[in-house]
Amino acid sequence: MTPAHSLPLRIRPDLRAPSVWPADTVARLQSLAKVVIYPLLPFYVLRWLFNPRGQNLKTYLLSRVDVWQGYLVPLLTPPESAEQAARPLPKSLQYIPFPPDAWDTVRWEVADVPPASEDMMGHLVDGPACVKPSSRPGFMLTPSDALGNGFAKAQPGERIILFFHGGGYIKGHPLWTPFPLKLAKDHGVRAFLCNYRKTLSDAAAFPAPLLDALAAWAYVTLNLGFAPAQILLLGDSAGAHLALALVQQLAALGRPQAGALAMVSPWTDFTASFPSWANESVDHLSRRMLLAAIRAAVRHYAPDAIPDPVFSPALADSDQWKCLCATRVLVSVGTDEVFADEDYALVMCMRRAGVDITLMEDVHGLHEGPVTLWSPGSLLSHKARPGAV
């Protein structure tokens, strides 16, 4: 087993960590913000006419509304209720609406995932006493042509997707977009979706999401009986960040890695220091909101812990990724997104480590284009190109 390395903890949680506001209050403030934002749209139409950068006008204007809203109302809302956490979201709460026939050939079920066991904890990231393992709902999607069924044991030769959703660790739900459903249906494999804790309180801040990811991994490998080589570990944005934290914890434990790792617009630098943050003028992520999300996530850790590979994998040495030399890795990145440079840095670092990694560039794509369809290309209807980095 790899020895633990200890990240420095604060004596008490960071007082700058944002508090949550009532959801209805935030919704009203966002509506008021649009009164300020909408008069700016003619200016952005003219700006787009002179420099479209390969994006359609609708995508560009929506991205401007999203960024301004994040700047004017950088407030966090409480996590979903226990009932919402254990069910697909109603249409009104879905980030991307599901097509009418989405569930025609796919069945969903939910189960409580037991907390991470003691032997899977503490070898990579120490946490405060207030952060404890917890059971979480896990969704299983079963296409009609899958080898296995629901929560039944793995069939010989069967593969499975283990998916972590995005949302900056402050919002999101495994089924707030049709992305994992679409992949499960297209490939005829079961997909297990972990609704990990959002870092909106002292008890749910890091390492809580990592404990939940470890519990999901243990559930898929031990309870369902899937060999690690049969698992596709999939994450988008913060979900990809969580997948990389899981990879590092498994390496610290001396455990086998997943057979494949796929990441869409991975969030890989909590220092927010790469030049592509200049793309905020075209992307839909708000730096102000992301910095608030970082403070919420790492509230228990001292500032010098933030460049650590657990929080900022783009800053890791190549040796950190030698554990993935037997894993096929895919990274999808939009060339116009704010995370572009940190994702390129991660790809180059993994290549130096000898990892078999494929980079797909969504030309003029924004953050999470393959998931949210913000951008021209996507993993759902792809016009991306192999990356040259």
Q: pLDDT band for 121, please (50, 70, 90 cuts).
A: confident
- Give tens-digit pLDDT for 2-36: 445 678 899 899 988 998 999 899 989 989 998 99
Q: Any alpha helices (H) in 73-220, and if so which ranges? A: 82-85, 179-187, 208-218
Give the pLDDT confidence score for residue 7 in this predicted structure: 86
Which among 60, 203, 193, 74 has a CA at the least distance from the CA of 130? 203
Residue 151 has pLDDT above 50, yes or no: yes
- What single-letter amino acid sits at 374? W
Question: Please, are residues 300 and 127 in contact by the beta-carbon 8 Å criterion?
Answer: yes
Residue 123 has pLDDT above 80, yes or no: no
Give the pLDDT confidence score for residue 51 in this predicted structure: 81
Kind of pairing between the strands at 106-113 and 231-236: unpaired
Give the pLDDT confidence score for residue 332 in this predicted structure: 95
Mean pLDDT of 215-230: 98
Kind of pairing between the strands at 328-334 and 356-362: parallel
Mean pLDDT of 26-53: 90
* CATH number among 3.40.640.10, 3.30.70.260, 3.40.30.10, 3.40.50.1820, domain 76-386: 3.40.50.1820
Mean pLDDT of 247-264: 96
Phi, psi values for residue 144, rounded to 5°: -65, -25
- Give tens-digit pLDDT for 323-381: 999 999 999 999 999 999 999 999 999 999 999 999 999 888 888 887 775 444 444 43
Give the pLDDT confidence score for residue 377 in this predicted structure: 42
**End-to-end Cα distance, the chain:** 33
Residue 114 has pLDDT above 90, yes or no: yes
User: How far is residue 243's CA from residue 213's CA, in Å, rounded to a whole number?
Assistant: 8
Tokens 């097509």 map to which residue? 99
User: How far is residue 120's CA from residue 252's CA, in Å, rounded to a whole number?
Assistant: 10
- Give tens-digit pLDDT for 157-201: 999 999 999 999 999 999 988 999 999 999 999 999 999 999 999
Other Cβ atoms less than 10 A from the Cβ of 91: the count is: 8
- Give tens-digit pLDDT for 70-90: 888 888 888 877 778 888 887
Q: Any alpha helices (H) in 274-339, and if so which ranges? A: 287-297
Q: pLDDT band for 122, please (50, 70, 90 cuts).
A: low
Give the pLDDT confidence score for residue 71 in this predicted structure: 85
pTM, entire model: 0.92
Residue 268 has pLDDT above 90, yes or no: yes
Question: Please, are residues 139 and 109 in contact by the beta-carbon 8 Å criterion?
Answer: yes
Give the pLDDT confidence score for residue 375 in this predicted structure: 44
Kindly state the percentage of the chain with pLDDT values over 90: 66
Most confident of 2-6, 177-181, 283-287, 299-303: 299-303
Compute the Cα dihedral for 85, 90, 93, 98 and give only its sign: positive
User: How far is residue 378's CA from residue 388's CA, in Å, rounded to a whole number?
Assistant: 18
Kind of pairing between the strands at 356-362 and 385-386: antiparallel
Token digits of residue 262: 């796929």
For the chain, what are the domain ranges?
76-386
User: How far is residue 190's CA from residue 153's CA, in Å, rounded to a whole number?
Assistant: 11
Which among 229, 261, 265, 232 has a CA at the least distance from the CA of 245? 261
Average pLDDT of every residue of the chain: 89
Which among 187, 289, 182 has a CA at the least distance from the CA of 238? 289
* Distance (Å) of CA 189 to CA 79, 162, 219, 328: 29, 11, 17, 18
Partnered with residue 109 across adjacent β-strands are 140
